[in-house]
């Protein structure tokens, strides 16, 4: 069905605190208006893929001008504006013909899609937060940091943040072959 070594059309977008916190009580930990604008600019016109908790947490749903796919094990779940999926492989199939589809959280969904994403758009928020959900530590032997912005200051919250982009490193088939010998 899917070759884990191939490049996919799946990207992930997330805002992460410096202690890897991403949420608490099914809500976000901060409000940075510039980051929300960037999220909208990058994802508009594309598909966004999320877990049911994140769907429930949206102040306005579905996210406008985007195809919204919601993952749940609940086979009778339906909600206006949501296309429902029940497994990772089903989602991969649903977006097969698209140029770029975005994994938008939350923690359970990020964790399960991490092996399949080719690109990550990360907003780093340079403070520790008390949280109940966290993003996995980014393995720099798997992902290459290809872009890093300067640090910006959000006047309203007083938080500093930067934008980073990561791309999956190509698999080195020679070293895989050697490791198997």
Ligand X SMILES: NC(=O)c1ccc[n+]([C@@H]2O[C@H](COP(=O)([O-])OP(=O)(O)OC[C@H]3O[C@@H](n4cnc5c(N)ncnc54)[C@H](OP(=O)(O)O)[C@@H]3O)[C@@H](O)[C@H]2O)c1
Assigned token pair, 39: 């999220």
Q: 3-state SS of the chain: helix, strand, coil percent to 5?
A: 25, 30, 45
**Nearest distance from residue 99's CB to ligand X, in Å?**
22
Phi and psi angles of residue 109, each rounded to the nearest 5 degrees, phi first: -75, -45
**Nearest distance from residue 48's CB to ligand X, in Å?**
10
Q: What residues have CB less than 8 Å from 136, skipping those under 6 apart?
A: 20, 110, 111, 114
Phi and psi angles of residue 52, each rounded to the nearest 5 degrees, phi first: -65, -35
Options 3, 27, 99, 150; binder of ligand X; rule CB under 6 A? 27
Q: Of residues 121-180, which lie at the interface with ligand X (CB under 6 A)?
A: 133
Tell me whether residue 9 or residue 32 sits nearer to ligand X (CB atom): 32
Q: Of residues 53-92, which lie at the interface with ligand X (CB under 6 A)?
A: 53-54, 57, 71-74, 86-88
Segment holding 84, helix H or strand E: strand 82-85
**Nearest distance from residue 120's CB to ligand X, in Å?**
11
**Nearest distance from residue 46's CB to ligand X, in Å?**
16
User: Where do contacts with ligand X occur on this chain (CB under 6 A)?
Assistant: 14-15, 22-24, 26-28, 50-54, 57, 71-74, 86-88, 104-109, 112, 133
């Amino acid at each position: 069905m899917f070759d884990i070594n191939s490049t996919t059309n799946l990207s992930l977008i997330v805002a992460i605190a410096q202690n890897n916190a991403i949420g608490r009580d099914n809500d976000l930990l901060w409000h940075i208006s510039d980051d929300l604008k960037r999220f909208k600019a990058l994802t508009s016109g594309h598909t966004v893929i999320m877990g049911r908790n994140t769907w429930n947490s949206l102040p306005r749903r579905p996210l406008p001008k985007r195809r919204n796919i919601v993952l749940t094990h609940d086979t009778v779940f339906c909600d206006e504006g949501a296309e429902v999926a029940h497994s990772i492989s089903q989602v991969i199939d649903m977006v097969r013909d698209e140029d770029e589809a975005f994994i938008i959280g939350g923690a359970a969904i990020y964790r399960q899609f991490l092996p399949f994403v080719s690109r990550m758009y990360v907003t780093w928020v340079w403070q520790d937060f008390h949280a109940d959900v966290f993003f996995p530590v980014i393995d720099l032997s798997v992902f290459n940091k290809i872009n890093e912005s300067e640090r910006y200051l959000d006047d309203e919250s007083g938080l500093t943040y930067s934008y980073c982009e990561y791309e999956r490193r190509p698999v080195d088939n020679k070293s895989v072959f050697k490791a198997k010998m």
